[in-house]
Chains A and B, each alone.
Chain A
């Protein structure tokens, strides 16, 4: 075959160079559109954000002033911003154990089922495919103090009504619960994939060695070998939870009294409702910093993990 013959014999120099040239040209050509778009949709905006954050630009304003780091100082001292930061972190802190823990639990329970597994998989995965806005309005109705089934059930059991979405103390946990509802199926699928990667004969060897109960099996084999998957799930859940917006926009609009105003919603208000572009740019950069932190954490931890 000519290919083998050509590869075996040394290619004459001009031919090699020509091939390399073609490769270079093709490569550059192929990458050009992507690079152009990358520039346009990521890099230039980033630069613009950086510039904007140092100004007090407002949309449509005629003059702008250079502020230096004033916007950032203002943000860190702004009670509204700090509250949104706190709310977001509180939300993330509530969602992570729920979404990761439940996802793991369901995956472990489902892993061994044969006949019922597909049904449960489909059920648990439904929220991931559904449009969150639509489901959020339904949740709003479900949690309605007077009309919703949850409060009806509470009344039937003798407890009073709970205003899930209008009581400042309850609104974040409620939103977190809905966030968990949406993420469980996704995490479950990731954990199932991780679980099936564990060789079955490890469990058998452990059984012979004396692993009696499910707890033993879980602690000795499942949990350690799920390590990388678990870390990955935690980090993606964190990032997704950090970007919470839809439920707030539909259900609470940051209320009651800012109790559910999260970072992205605050940015949305500043940039697209109040048009404080400069300030919003600074807030966006702070948001980016946190997301980058999470992503770096992810790569760092995953690289460190021993790949058995």
Chain B
């Protein structure tokens, strides 16, 4: 069990920078997820931690000590690969025993025929066998020990890969998109299994995924990456409720957040589609802003209704998706507003629309996320007490 510290890690392939200025401190026993779209550098980062790639700049510390000069197996890390990387020519037992045989037996004792001459080998192998069986029991794969990887299902292979990582009793578990190759149902099941495993072992987990659901449900903290930098590091809640960047807001949360173009009005209030919202920001007038509203924060209502304290946008229901427990609405906004909004509601939206399929979308100004021209979050947003504003004329 150990903490992991990354200090100013940078990496370039040829002349192309892939990572820059990564600072990250993972506490001992923490489950940290690196999440982001393909190409953001998260896999490269985890490979640098493992020692499979040398970094171009910066240093890696595990358990407080620098490991930059150490080779992968000397760093006491274990890694689960996306493809599991099980040795196809060995049975499951041998796969799981390999980390132990590599470290405990010397070269002579491992050579194919000569090893039968070694007296020490039998004792060592007995100990190894015990350990492998113990881990296999934990993962409920003891019955599979005699099979070859090609005879296993995807989920079973995943567990074997986990088992191979666990026998080493590493200080840090590294996982590179381990659930990507599983079907949806199995993925959901394995998510909770991994989370339980983490709780049981109490070892530091560093997990890489492009799936924000995995990131949100399994982690203690999440680091969202984009183009080689960390956009935001924090608890899942923080990333959802207070995204530091437009990109973070867009990535986290399903359905994706609604983004509307806005600007700073004359009085410092946020102006959306020509109308003033009752919120004020300290920015020069005319600055472009982006307003983010989560679909869950949008309340659909019949046209014409107004509620105190809420803003309203009129629009026409283009399509609604029925998920059973809820409906997702896709609404085209009415002039002078442009674009579309996504909303979520429990009942049937058909009950709210009029003959022309118009309806109103209500939202609280306090639920809005305001981002500046560069996409960074603006925290100092004041509420301005005023009457609810009607945003648009009906079509």
Direct contact of A and B (CB under 8 A): yes
**Which A residues lie at the B interface, using CB under 8 A?**
199, 201-202, 204-212, 215-216, 219-221, 224-225, 227, 306-308
Given A205-B81, A208-B79, A216-B102: A306 touches B89 (CB 8 Å cut-off): yes
Interface size of B by CB at 8 A reads 29
**Which B residues lie at the A interface, using CB under 8 A?**
50-52, 71-73, 77-79, 81, 83, 85, 87-90, 98-99, 102-103, 107, 110-112, 148-150, 164, 168
Given A207-B52, A210-B99: A215 touches B107 (CB 8 Å cut-off): yes
Residues A212 and B73 in contact, CB atoms below 8 Å apart: yes
Given A308-B148, A308-B149: A202 touches B87 (CB 8 Å cut-off): yes
B89 contacts across to A, CB distance below 8 A: 224-225, 227, 306, 308
A220 to B105, CA, bound (A): 14
Residues A207 and B71 in contact, CB atoms below 8 Å apart: yes
Residues A208 and B50 in contact, CB atoms below 8 Å apart: yes
Kindly list 4 other residue pairs between chains A and B, CB separation below 8 angstroms, not including A208-B51, A210-B73, A227-B89. Answer: A208-B52, A212-B102, A219-B111, A220-B87
Choose from A205, A216, A220, A308 the contact partner of B85 (Cβ within 8 Å): A205
A201 to B176, CA, bound (A): 12
Residues B110 and A208 in contact, CB atoms below 8 Å apart: no
A206 to B101, CA, bound (A): 12
Q: Among B77, B87, B150, which residue has the most Cβ atoms of chain A within 10 A?
A: B87
B88 contacts across to A, CB distance below 8 A: 225, 308
Closest residue on chain A to residue B174 by CB atoms: A208
Q: Among B72, B83, B110, B111, which residue has the most Cβ atoms of chain A within 10 A?
A: B72
Residues B150 and A208 in contact, CB atoms below 8 Å apart: no
A206 to B149, CA, bound (A): 16
CB distance from B168 to the nearest CB of A (A): 8
Given A209-B99, A216-B102, A219-B111: A201 touches B78 (CB 8 Å cut-off): no
A64 to B275, CA, bound (A): 115
Given A204-B81, A216-B107: A210 touches B102 (CB 8 Å cut-off): yes
A306 contacts across to B, CB distance below 8 A: 89, 148
Choose from A201, A202, A209, A215 the contact partner of B164 (Cβ within 8 Å): A209
B72 contacts across to A, CB distance below 8 A: 204, 207-208
Choose from B77, B90, B111 the contact partner of A208 (Cβ within 8 Å): B77
9 contacts between A and B (CB under 8 A): A199-B83, A201-B81, A202-B87, A207-B52, A210-B73, A216-B102, A219-B111, A221-B87, A307-B150
